[in-house]
Chains A and B, each alone.
Chain A
Amino acid sequence: MSLTVDNLRVYYRTLRGDVRALDGVTFRVEDGEIMGIAGESGCGKTTLGKSLIRLDGRMRYIEGKVQIDGVDLPIADTGAMDAFRYRSVSIIPQQAMSALNPIRKIGRMIEELLDSRGVSYDETKPELSRRLRLVGLDDGVLDRFPIELSGGMKQRVVLVLSTLLDPSLLIADELTSALDVSTQKAVAEMLVEFRDRSFVKSTLVITHDLSILYQIADTILVMYAGKLVEKGPSSELTAEPRHPYTQLLLGSLPEVGVRFNERRLTGIAGRPPSLLDPPTGCRFRDRCPLAFAKCSEEPPFVEVEPGRFAACWKASD
């Protein structure tokens, strides 16, 4: 399975004009790859995730092509996407565990969901039970209401549910953000486990947390202000980032072992540009310590080294 995204542009309609949330992204995900999509709030990563499955009515598809295994995904058409949702492309949206129907028992909810997709609950149940056990839950969970489960348990239920039909592509949006650090580790490791067991072919892990991505993702894609700024294998990217934004971002993260009185870290001054009327040229220009004259021309997202991509005029130096 491979996913190719070609020059995807998705804007949001508002009273004041279009917000250019996703402004021309192109990349490829290979079979079995776990790709992390990282960035801060407003960078477009959630828009990217949702646009691949077309779930948000406020989104306006502008242009671009998305293909899974060479087949066009009809992301401009909500109705046509229905055939692909849940079967080939599945999403775990943000705060999914809070979105479980509070007045339905888990088992009943799963049954209704499968029915709506034309899948027999009874036939799927043995596999469902197997997977629940795999993530450390048992069938008893099916008889409980969401409120009876802890955050970690709910997130694991959601994980099993979203991957029940073995989708080719799983999009996980901030899967671990609301969890305690120990559960976070367990759930993140489950994502890898699911890939290893081929329940899911490829995964897009959307998060602001680069350190989690270092742990579980094969590749990391960094986004800023609606554009891609860097891509590369996780260990290389985090050890030697090529784009100034990535460098500054990594430099601002406190790690266990770094202390204030020994080494004072710094953040990135300023704020991301408005996406209603973004500036021309490189969008990171105003905050970049390396900015120079050429940055008024938008740098293309190119391969600066085998397997390493960056959108910066200085990256290939």
Chain B
Amino acid sequence: MLRVKDVSKVYKTGMFGGSEFTAVSGVSFDVEPGEVVSLIGESGSGKTTVGKMILRLTGVTSGSITFGGVEVSALRKSQLRGYYAQVQGVFQDPFSSYNPVFKADRVFELIRGNYLRGMSRSEWNGKVRRSLEDVGLEPADVLGKYPHQLSGGQLQRLLIARALLLDIQFLVADEIISMLDASTRIDVLNLLGDLKARGLGILFVTHDLSLGNYISDKTIILRRGRIVEMGATEKVFGDPRHAYTRMLLSSVPQFGHKWEKLEDLDLSESDAASADMRPGVLDEGAAGDLLEVDRDHFVATG
């Protein structure tokens, strides 16, 4: 359904665009209907950029993104409307996603105004109610309220309901629960699982490995714009082959299991130091081509 092939994003920086910054380099993956794919990476990995490129919120420097066979980056402005009826996004900060001057359900009105103008009011109200029920919200609790009167969890679910109004086939969920409280996170995550069962394809962008492990069928580990490991979730988490993946997994704090010392993990010095330890310069030789080490399990060389 969604095919990302060899996509790169290069930003021009500095005076008069003199220098370059590569945010994403040579990323390729597919998402099928009813599949949740986790795109896992730390800050600076380019994961949000990939999501934005799929949503056409930023351009692709090279490579191709096709949805249902149609090249997304070549769509003209007039065709975007049709694209957005099939592909939508939900972002990280629920309070920033709503215009503070208006009521929260205005996000539904925007959809109606642009896509479903011909629909009668009563039909529309019914559709809205069904969408809200699908995401586990009581219409009376959330309609007619301002964003600050609702909780982060309700706001995120409202955004998912909005996306469902269009009968979308694919959702980009960019860190959608990282700003929610722990007790509500799992409910929104479970919601994604339910949607997947209905045939929705989901790209779940996150930095949190345990969330990715919980919800996704396939996992992609991104480092500094390149894929270092990718494959079925149980394979990537159960048998991590790339040193970076192993380092990430060893850093996740878990209950009943204290952190291991790095020496026990047989990692080289440069892998142990994550991207965050040294600022600035993108390491050009960060990852090589992807090798298939097992069925549905790919690891980058180098």
Interchain nearest-CB distance for B180 vs A (Å): 9
Identify which of B247, B275, B279 gathers the most chain A CB atoms within 10 Å of its CB: B279
Q: Are A180 and B274 in contact (CB under 8 A)?
A: yes
Are A180 and B42 interface neighbours, CB within 8 A? yes
Contact residues of B: prevailing secondary structure: helix
Inter-chain contacts of B237 with A (CB < 8 A): 256-257
Is B19 on the interface with A (CB-CB < 8 A)? no
Q: Please tell me which one of the listed residues A210, A255, A267 contacts residue B210 in the complex, with CB atoms under 8 A apart.
A: A255
Q: A254-B189, A266-B187 are in contact. Are A181 and B209 (CB under 8 A)?
A: yes
Instruction: Report the stretch among A3-11, A112-120, A149-157, A302-310 that lies at the interface.
Output: A149-157
* Contact A264–B182 (Cβ < 8 Å): no
Give Cα A210–Cα B280 distance, bound, in whole angstroms: 32
Contacts of A26 in B (CB 8 A): none
Residue pair B183, A267 in contact (C-beta under 8 Å): yes
> Is B249 interfacial (CB 8 A cutoff)?
yes
B135: shortest Cβ distance to chain A, in Å?
14
B213 x A182 contact (CB < 8 A): no
Q: B185 at the A/B interface (Cβ < 8 Å)?
A: yes
Cα separation A267 to B136 with both chains bound (whole Å): 13
Tell which of B5-13, B70-78, B254-262, B291-299 binds the partner.
B254-262
Q: A149-B279, A256-B210 are in contact. Are A184 and B251 (CB under 8 A)?
A: yes
Chain A residue contacts of B255, Cβ below 8 A: 210-211, 214, 238-239, 250, 255
- A248 contacts which chain B residues (CB < 8 A)? 183
Report yes or no: A40 in contact with B247, Cβ–Cβ below 8 A: no
Chain B residues with CB under 8 Å of A184's CB are: 251, 253
User: Which one of A179, A266, A267 contacts B276 once the chains associate, using CB atoms below 8 Å?
Assistant: A179
Interface centre among A152, A258, A259, A260 (most CB of B within 10 A): A260
A222 to B214, CA, bound (A): 25
- The verdict on A180 contacting B275 (CB below 8 Å), with A40-B181, A249-B183 known, is yes
Say yes or no: A256 contacts B252, CB within 8 Å.
yes
B interface size (C-beta, 8 A): 42
Say which residue of A150, A211, A259, A264 sits within 8 Å of B254 (CB atoms). Answer: A211
Contacts of A252 in B (CB 8 A): 182-183, 185-186
> Which residues of A lie under 8 Å from residue B249 when comparing CB positions?
256
Contacts of B252 in A (CB 8 A): 181, 211, 256
Known contacts A249-B183, A260-B214, A267-B183; is-contact A181 B207 (Cβ 8 Å): yes
Distance in Å: Cβ of B10 to nearest Cβ of chain A: 21
Q: Is the CB of A153 within 8 A of B277?
A: yes
Enumerate chain B residues within 8 angstroms of A266, measured Cβ to Cβ: 186-187, 190
Chain A contacts with B in 121-143, Cβ cutoff 8 A: 136
A150, B251: Cβ atoms closer than 8 Å: no
Question: Complex: how many Å from CA A262 to CA B214?
Answer: 9
A78 in the interface, Cβ–Cβ < 8 Å? no
Q: Does B215 contact A (CB under 8 A)?
A: yes
Partner pick for B184 among A209, A256, A267, CB 8 A cutoff: A267
Interface bin, chain A: 35 or more
Chain B residues lying within 8 Å of A210, measured Cβ to Cβ, are: 182, 255
B244 to chain A, nearest CB (A): 9
Give bound CA distance, A149 to B211, whole Å: 29
Residue of A nearest to B234 (CB): A259
Within 8 A of B (CB), among A183-208: 183-186, 188-189, 208
Among residues of A, the one whose C-beta sits closest to the C-beta of B179 is: A41
Q: Mark A42-71, 1 if CB is under 8 A from B, else 0.
A: 000000000000000000000000000000
Q: In the bound complex, what is the Cα–Cα distance between A264 and B215 (angstroms)?
A: 10
How near does chain B come to A191, taking the closest CB pair, in angstroms? 13
**Looking at B190, B233, B247, B253, which has the most chain A CB atoms within 10 Å of its CB?**
B253
Say whether B186 contacts A267, CB under 8 Å: yes
Least CB distance, A218 to chain B, in whole angstroms:
13
In contact, A40 and B248 (Cβ under 8 angstroms) = no
Interface residue? B121 (CB, 8 A) = no
Taking CB atoms, residues of chain A closer than 8 Å to B209 are: 181, 256
A259 to B236, CA, bound (A): 14
User: Which residue on chain B has the smallest CB distance to residue A245?
Assistant: B183
Smallest Cβ-Cβ distance to A38: which chain B residue = B182
- B253 touching A212, Cβ below 8 Å: yes
Contacts of B208 in A (CB 8 A): 181
Given contacts A151-B276, A181-B252, A264-B190, 16 further A-B contacts (CB under 8 A): A136-B277, A148-B279, A150-B276, A152-B277, A180-B275, A181-B207, A183-B276, A184-B251, A211-B253, A238-B256, A253-B182, A254-B214, A256-B209, A258-B214, A259-B214, A265-B214
Give 7 nearest A-B pairs by CB, closest first: A182-B274, A180-B42, A268-B183, A211-B253, A254-B214, A150-B279, A40-B181
